[in-house]
Amino acid sequence: MTFSKEKNNLQYLFSIPVIVAALGYFVDIYDLLLFGIVRIPSLKDLGLSEVEVSTVGASILNWQMMGLLIGGILWGVLGDKKGRLSVLFGSILTYSLANIICGFVQNPDLYKIVRFVAGIGLAGELGAGITLVSESLPKHLRAIGTSLVAGIGLLGAVFAYFTVEVFAWRTAYFIGGGMGISLLLLRIGVFESGAFTAIKEQKNIQKGNFFSFFTNKNRLIRYLKCIAIGLPTWFVIGILTTFSNEFGKALNITEPIKPGLAIMWCYIGLSFGDILSGFLSHGLRSRKKAVAIMMLFTLLFAYYYLFYGINNSSHLYGACLLMGIGIGYWAMFVTIGAEQFGTNLRATAATTIPNMVRGTVVGMTALFGLLKPSWGVIYAGTSVGLICFTLGFCAILTIEETHNRDLDFLEI
């Protein structure tokens, strides 16, 4: 892959593919977290009792996560077979229309189906965006470029929180859908990546075969390691912040803890951490060292959150912010997934890997719920965390370094 020497680094980093991918991820995160933020008011508005809000809300969230798993495979395969742009257009149209429909739902059953469809659409945005940006930038700028995409995009969580504070939940869904439809117009001027274009017409090359991850031992190990690297990120988001109200009670904090606020502070940290991770990887000239350092930072503040004796809401939200900074290697983890695999499987890898990690939240919450009655909230959370961090550290320490790797190669 060749790049024009006439462009400077800033021109590459603020090129149309990077800007559009960042804005797309902003809308993606807004819509991804919106149900979690409006879960209680929306289900109460539909006439559900407090008990039903909990059980039905968990069911709807699980349907959304299942949509993410299925969508990750669907969009990943499509991205390698038809191109990265096909996913960028198709995924945002799917979840934008689904979110507009969410603003009209009148019963939980329809709500569940529409969030499932939204989950399918939401699954494609990050992987396709990271793949396109990775293949569009010079290799020495990939870490910074992809971190900018995620850093800017993750602020969508903050925007979602304040939107719900100001507007009714139905209006918040309409705003999300409207932003997505508007973004489609910006994507008209985006060009396909040169790496994909180079192999597009080569019929002899097998593209987007998801099952090929499981037919080759070396490829399977790489794939599983990439997934394992991301586990601590969703342990923090899916357990420590989502159930922060339960941890607050277990820590004897008298003020009521708002999970939505905890998630917002976590994502503020995550946005900052994602940008930091890109520059850290660039400076250390290593993806592995950057991720390992940030994972260790996350572990230290997860320990602080659970065992240091936090006694007020401000300290708990502060811990969520710091853990968010630590898990800011999210974009780097997706970039590693994209760089580990050849052009004919790159979109499939980069799209399915983060959604596989998101899907593990179902298992994390199930284990957390299973252990809580006998072990209590703190030690149940700790047990889930130990599994996630052990697998994460083993994976990042043993996976192959991809800094400065040329991406013009194929999986055969």
Query: Exposed/middle/buried for 109, CB within 10 Å: 0-12, 13-18, 19+?
Result: exposed
Count of CB atoms situated within 10 Å of the CB of 249:
13
Structure tokens at 16: 């149309």
Instruction: Give the C-alpha separation, 385 to 379, whole Å.
Output: 10
Contact 15, 136 (CB under 8 A): yes
Contact 195, 408 (CB under 8 A): yes
List the pLDDT tens digit at each of the 412 positions of the chain: 445 545 677 777 878 778 888 888 899 889 988 888 888 889 999 998 878 887 888 788 889 988 988 998 888 888 778 777 777 788 888 999 999 999 999 999 999 999 999 999 988 887 777 878 887 888 888 888 888 888 888 888 889 989 998 999 999 999 999 999 988 877 776 665 555 565 566 666 666 678 888 888 999 999 999 999 999 999 999 899 988 988 999 999 989 888 888 988 998 999 899 889 888 988 999 999 999 999 999 999 999 999 988 989 999 999 999 999 999 998 888 889 888 988 788 888 888 898 889 888 888 988 998 999 999 999 999 999 999 999 999 999 999 998 878 777 776 7
Contact 197, 80 (CB under 8 A): no
Contact 207, 199 (CB under 8 A): yes
In the chain the domains, ranked by start, together with CATH numbers, are: 9-189+209-398 (1.20.1250.20)
DSSP line for 188-249: GGPPPPHHHHHHTT-TTS----GGGGGSSHHHHHHHHHHHHHHHHHHHIIIIIITTHHHHHH
Helices 330-340 and 346-398: crossing angle, nearest 10°? 110
Contact 40, 53 (CB under 8 A): yes
Instruction: Give the C-alpha separation, 39 to 258, whole Å.
Output: 13
- For residue 193, which phi and psi values (nearest 5 degrees)? -70, 145
Instruction: Give the C-alpha separation, 295 to 325, whole Å.
Output: 10
